[in-house]
Chains A and B, each alone.
Chain A
């Protein structure tokens, strides 16, 4: 490593300068920076790769395994629930990616660099949310589409496949992207609230995937409604052609509830973010 002991002279005199003609912070620049951040760490590549591989691979595997039984109609299961089955597992990666976008800044201490460059915190959060949403929207839609194609291939062989122009199938292809994007933002909000990766992952997985199933054990209408309204349950129907649980909210209603809950959590996280010391 070379070690110069003096600096090259600065390009301009460092005396106080007017703001005119000099760059300013803009939202476009923040987006560009956040996009650069997310694409230049390997954790993004790994989480997105596992999102795709788990979702598509497990869907193909289960459809290959159960297609025969489903065709004989001995299982009595909703066929449409199987063509995006792998997303149940793949979605964890979307949650984790969202969490990392916030929590990795804290675990590395980089948040101070970020806020030194862009001291206003709401725009920083907005830029992070936008980039994460865009990435997961695109990759989520691709993932659910490929998963459906893969799963449907095996169902088709048994004569129980779906038409790819079926409105519910088309809705699921897009819905997978929407659901995973909002789930990622849910993770981002959680990561920003907790500022700790392992803690946020634990809480996120517990909240979305475990508590969502447990509240059904509460007897009566309370349990029924809690089941419908838990974030994971509410959002997931949009990303399935047909749900295993017929009692859940409809796809768009459920997604609306999930998006609302996520927006609320994000606002709370943003409010704390803007007030807390970095």
Chain B
């Protein structure tokens, strides 16, 4: 369980994280979604006690990170691929780390096996590929068998096989009852792994919602229809109680209707149609809308937005 209360980080007069509140619960994957520079990494570093908050507080299992009696037994983190001295072997990296928290040596071998680095464990990590480095970072995170895990952009730069592996790993860790907090700037990635979604933009929480709610609200399809008699058609559609928006090229976007219904309305009035199609809104677009400049975001009230904004 991670709890942030009015958590704030300022660098000079720039506010990177602006008094955010959130809770990351056990037994689920909480996605931390936001564009680059939104404050995701800064927030995660504050959770880990690496960066000092300018205001507010954040606790892990009810305690500030620095007050944890043996942090690796409670929290595991993959903060960035490169938090490893390249001159040291993977085994020795995990060994010194294990020693800080009194973790037995056999656990080092165990986690090396879990992430599939057995063959290269005695090689210096400087020669590791990005994917191998990521696996080593994950081995380090799992070392203390912690109940809380943080992954900062875990799939960045990985090949498809590595991405699938990490996804499965993250899902299985949450299924075991652990608290899993994963950041990403990719909506599509979050849609596949997260149960809960925290959207952050410009240091503020823009959405705190269940992934399924977010999908239901934002993946609703609409019908796109283009007619030379657009004005008449729009009037006819409005009479049926459907919300109409105009696209840039003059086409009508109809929410809440099927293409059959729209076509029937046009037919019954004898109107010509030049185009009739169903458009599936993408989650990526919904996310882009959310995290676009907040002024622009508030101005566009016609867009579906998730609860909790």
Contacts and interface: CB of A to CB of B under 8 A. Distances in A.
Interface of A: 1-17, 19, 22-26, 29-30, 32-34, 36-37, 40-43, 104-105, 108-110, 112-120, 275, 277-278
Contacts of B83: 108-110, 112-113
B213 interface: no
Contacts of A13: 177
Nearest to A11: B145
A46 to B, nearest CB: 10
Contacts, number: 151
A110 B79 CA distance: 11
B24 interface: no
B85 A104 contact: yes
Contacts of A42: 87
Q: 7 shortest A-B CB distances, which residue pairs?
A: A23-B102, A36-B96, A40-B92, A277-B51, A119-B66, A117-B100, A14-B147
A117 B72 CA distance: 6
Contacts of A119: 48-49, 65-66, 68, 71
B88 A40 contact: yes
B82 A108 contact: yes
Given A36-B95, A116-B48, A19 B84 contact: no
Contacts of A116: 48-50, 71-72, 75, 77, 79
B165 A5 contact: yes
B5 interface: no
Nearest to A25: B70
B169 A23 contact: no
Contacts of A108: 82-86
Contacts of B50: 112, 115-116, 277-278
A33 B142 CA distance: 18
Interface in B85-133: 85-89, 92, 95-97, 99-103, 110, 113-114, 116-120, 132
A7 to B, nearest CB: 5
B100 A14 contact: no
Contacts of A12: 145
B80 interface: yes
A6 B168 contact: yes
11 contacts: A8-B113, A24-B70, A25-B69, A33-B100, A37-B85, A37-B96, A40-B95, A40-B96, A41-B88, A108-B85, A119-B49
A72 B214 CA distance: 93
A22 B116 contact: no
A26 B178 CA distance: 26
Q: Counting chain B CB atoms within 10 Å of each CB, which of A33, A42, A117, A278 scores highest? A: A117
A36 B100 CA distance: 10
A19 B102 CA distance: 14
B45 interface: yes
B246 interface: no
A16 B61 contact: yes
B303 interface: no
Interface in B243-288: none
B26, B85, B120, B161 interface centre (most CB from chain A within 10 Å): B85
* Residue from B83, B84, B169, B178 having most chain A Cβ neighbours under 10 A: B83
B173 interface: yes
Contacts of A110: 83-85
A14 B69 contact: no
A115 B49 contact: yes
Nearest to A14: B147
Contact of B96 (A5, A6, A33): A33
A23 B89 contact: no
B198 to A, nearest CB: 21
B289 interface: no
B140 interface: yes
Contacts of B25: none
A1 B177 contact: no
Contact of B116 (A2, A10, A114): A2
Contacts of B217: none
B257 to A, nearest CB: 43
B102 A109 contact: no
Contacts of A22: 69-70, 73
B212 interface: no
